[in-house]
Each structure stands twice: as C-alpha cells, then as structure tokens.
Chains A and B, each alone.
Chain A
Amino acid sequence: MGLIRRHPALVPLLLLLPGLVWLVSFYLAPNIQMFASSFWSGTLESGFSFSFSNWTNYTDALSKYQQQYARSIEYGFAATLICFAIAFPLAYFIAFKAGRARSALLFLVVAPFFTSYLLRTIGWRTILGDDSIILGPLKAAGLVDPAARFLDTPFAVIAGIAYNFVPFMILPIYVSLEKIDRRLLEAAQDLYATSWGAFRRVTLPLAMPGIFAGSLLTFIPAIGDFINAELLGNPNTTMVGNVIQRQFLVDRDYPTAAALSFMLMVLILAGVALYGRLLGTDELTSKAI
C-alpha cells in the first residue's frame, strides 16, 4: 500500500499486469513461435528445420489454396450481411419495444452458447434435411422439385455460419441503441416529422459504432470457421479453416498450416484496418461491444 501511495502511476500497471502476462504468454508468444514455424521445411518423419528461404511456404500455400481463401471471404461476407439483416431489427426491438422483457430477451440471444456448438449445427442438419419440416411439405405440395436440397450446399454453410455468430452482431448493436438518449429521439421525431427521417438521421448514425463492432465480431470468426463447412457443406465448399485443420491434424504439414494461418490473420487484420479507415472510426476497440 505504501508503495502505491508513493507511486500512484503504478496502479494501472498493477491492474494490467496479470492480464498482460497471461496474454503475452498464451497469445503473443505462441503466435510468434508459430510464425517461426511457417519458415520450416521438412516433414514430421524426417524432422523440421528453419530457414528464411522457406518463405516459399507462403507462396506455395497461397497458390494452392487461393480458392479456399476467396470462398472464406465470400461466405464470411454473405454471413455477415445475413447476420446484420437479422440482428438489427431484433436489437432495435429489444432496445426500444421490449419493455420489461428486455433483459430476458437479451439473455435468450446469448443462450445458444449454453447448449453446444456442435449439437446446434447438427440440429441444422435435421432442420434443413431433404425431407425435413421445411422441405418436406413443400415437396409434398409439389411446390419444389423433389430433387431440391439445402443440405450439403453453400447455402447451408452460409446459413450455419450466420446462425452460429449472429449473437456477436446483436449484442453490440443493442448496446449502441440502448445508449441513445430517448429525449434525443423525441426531439428528432419533432424535427424531421417522420419516424423514418428520425431513424435515418439520428438512430442509425448513433448505432454505427455497434454495427461496426458487430460486423467485425461476426466476420472474423466466420471466415476462420471450419465446422459449418465440414458438417453442412460438400467437398466444393471447403474454407481455409478446413484446410488448416486438415494440415494440422491429419496431414501434419505444420509449416504449410502455419503459413496458411498467418495469411488468414493478416487478411483479417488488413480487413479490420481498412474497415476502420472507411468508416473513419479510430477508436475501434473501445467501440466493440
């Protein structure tokens, strides 16, 4: 206590220390190490050796798997858009119309986390099945080609990804909407005369930080995902995550896997930076959630 009183500047340092140590040890260090392993050559059987000349690991991996990168971006983008379309009205409803049920509804949004990611995704297999509650009646009524299917198509993969990450979109949008001063909205109603005008000129701009954060928090896990493509897709819907997973766990080609991982991270960080630039939001992290 005496020390702290004499050096008040130490307080933030002490508060930060445990978390910082944890993140440096278990986030930064392993990532640096993995970066190094992307410059290995060799195989599991013969052993690996490091050399900067192995930068070709990157070019080789990129040329072989460019399609998977493109697809990850495409699916991630589509899923983020779907998430937004679902999340914004729901968040708006919870923030402004739900009254006392607000916190209950909000919790229901996070509640899927308490079952199981794998089980929920498998649940989609049941829902989207060829003769499921959705397709079955449509086919029976002759409205849909009997050979039509959702399952094991890009559609199912994108829908699965959107479903799994939509809470990450809803929460930040809700927080930004909820913070808006009601008096401001009333004033806007008077000023712009229509509720649409008020919404467009006041609500939406004030919700932008939440939309921004939500899109990031959705897009990032979406493009790194592999479970949905594995369980709901087919061989031509594989994403970078599927390749990384297989390279790490089945083929055990660690250098390629590491190079693929790093390119994915760089891609995401570049996307985050670009997105921040475009929206003119510097204080990116403080706006998240």
Chain B
Amino acid sequence: MSIIRKIAAVAASRFLTIYASLALLYLLLPILTVALFSFNDPIGRSNYSWSSFTIDNWLSLFRDPTLVSAVGISLRIALVSTIIATTIGTLMAMALVRYQFRFRKALDLFVFLPLATPEIVLGASLLTLFVTLRIPLGEITLILAHVMFNVSYVVVTMKARLAGFDMRLEEAAADLGATPWQTFWRVTFPLILPGIAASAVLAFGLSLDDFVITRFNAGQVQTFPVYIYLKVQKGIPPQVNAFATLFFVVTVSLVAIGALLQRRRANLKP
C-alpha cells in the first residue's frame, strides 16, 4: 500500500514538473519567436514569416533614428514614472498598513479601483482631462498617466510585503535612542528594500510595455510600443525585434546579477 502511494507521489511530482515546464514554455514561446525573428531577413517589409538567417539586424540596430529615439523616450518615461510611482506608492502603502484611521477601508478600495478599470477607459478619460486643462500631450502627460496606473500596482505589492513586517524592530531602534528618521533609514528601509525593488521592476516593465493608455495620451510622441503600432500597418522592421530581445536579455541579466549580489551578501553575514 505504501509503495503504491510512494509511486503515486513520485508520479505526481514528475507530472507537476513536466506541467510546470510546459507552462513556462508557453510563457516564453512568443518571446523566443520575437528573438528568433530578430535574426530573420524578411520578405519585403513584413517580418512575420521566416525567410532566412542573418545577423544584419543586430549590426544595424541603430540605423533608424526614429526607432532609436522611440526606445530612448520609452526608457526615460519608464524610469521617471517608476521612481515617482514607487516613492509615493510605498508611502501610501505604509500609511494603509501601519496606521488606523477613518476611511482606511474606503481608501483601500479607492487605490484598487484603477486596477479594476479597463485600460482603454483610463486612457480615454485622461485624454479628455488633459485636453480640457490644455495640458499639451507629450512626454509629461505620459509620465502623469504612467505614474497613475503604476501607483496602484506599487501600493498593492508593497502592502503584501509590509503586512509581514516585524514592527518590534522599529520599537527596538527607538528604544535605543534612534530618531524616527534614523529608524526609517537604518531599520525600516533596508528591510522593505526587496519589496521596493520588486515593485519598481514591475512598474518599470508595465510602463515600458504600456500601449493602450499611451496611445491615447502620447500626442505625437512616439514611444517604443507606439512606434511598433505605427509600423504594424506596413511592416515592423526586424530591428524592433532586436531591441525587444535586448530589453529582455538586459532585464533578465540585471535581475540575475541583483539576486547573486544579494545571495553573496547574505553569505558574508555571520
């Protein structure tokens, strides 16, 4: 009986491993396709069908100045909006988790609302606002918009992290004579840093990849996704695939390096 159970357990575990691998493959398959087609020598202007292998697209990565500028604009907007959203989102999450006050539940719900609103509604309503206020559409309006949708993601992520936070550490610091400011920077901040990093990575990715809200509020600014959309009409140059692959490889490497550093630091501690 117990042997059968053991066999069943092993089989279940094997099955789980295979299933999980397939699920991961499903997640990565389109990215592999995108990467593969960065090495395609396309027929005409349309880079959808495999024709023949070339590395030219990588060698000529910067040949279209408009594409390069679009990539630059996207990175800039993602960076600025991530910094702002992570900062104000973390502050909000701290208030919501650690303080009791009236309307806290209502506020919880309010912060959640942007996540419950379809992107297309967010984009269109913001456009109406900017136009009424005569804020010219461009990078500024995009940053305002990206911070808005990212704040909610940051708050929700940070709240989960802060909920498991041991408040006694701060009390101990205060007992030892640290000012609230010192307590924050020396105790609280290092402890919530992994959470902040996770939120920032998520926010950066969401901003970099946003198309729908951006499409409505970009005016004539071309971000990377908008460039792609404008080109879909007549054919996306393979350099676009090369850039997308590059984004992927760079972020994966950065995160991997970050994880290694963290592990080393953890090992160094007595």
Q: Pick the contact of B118: A109, A179, A224 (CB < 8 A).
A: A224
What does the 1/0 interface line of B229-259 toward A look like (CB < 8 Å)? 1001000100011001101100110011001
Task: Decide if A205 is an interface residue (CB 8 Å cutoff).
Answer: no
Q: Are A113 and B206 in contact (CB under 8 A)?
A: yes
Task: Decide if A20 is an interface residue (CB 8 Å cutoff).
Answer: yes
Q: Which residues of A contact B159 (CB under 8 A)?
A: 286, 289
In the bound assembly, the distance between CA atoms of A167 and B89 in angstroms comes to 21
Q: Are B236 and A122 in contact (CB under 8 A)?
A: yes
Task: Decide if A227 is an interface residue (CB 8 Å cutoff).
Answer: yes
Q: Which residues of A contact B79 (CB under 8 A)?
A: none
Q: Which residues of B contact A123 (CB under 8 A)?
A: 29-31, 33-34, 37
Task: Decide if A153 is an interface residue (CB 8 Å cutoff).
Answer: no
Q: Are B118 and A221 in contact (CB under 8 A)?
A: yes
Task: Decide if B148 is an interface residue (CB 8 Å cutoff).
Answer: yes
A16-B107, A110-B201, A116-B225 known; 11 other A-B pairs, CB under 8 Å?
A12-B101, A20-B107, A27-B122, A89-B23, A93-B17, A110-B202, A113-B205, A119-B236, A126-B33, A163-B26, A220-B118
18 intermolecular pairs with C-beta atoms under 8 Å apart: A16-B91, A23-B152, A26-B147, A33-B125, A37-B128, A103-B259, A107-B256, A108-B28, A113-B206, A115-B245, A122-B232, A123-B29, A124-B30, A126-B48, A127-B33, A163-B26, A225-B118, A289-B159
Where the two chains meet, the residues of A that have a C-beta atom closer than 8 Å to any C-beta of B are: 9, 11-13, 15-16, 18-20, 22-23, 26-31, 33-34, 37, 86-87, 89-90, 92-94, 97, 103-105, 107-127, 129, 163, 166-167, 175, 179, 194-195, 216-217, 220-221, 223-227, 241, 244-245, 248, 254, 257-258, 261-262, 264-265, 268-269, 272, 284-286, 288-289
Q: Which 8 A-B pairs have the closest CB atoms?
A: A224-B118, A113-B205, A123-B30, A93-B20, A30-B125, A15-B95, A12-B99, A30-B129
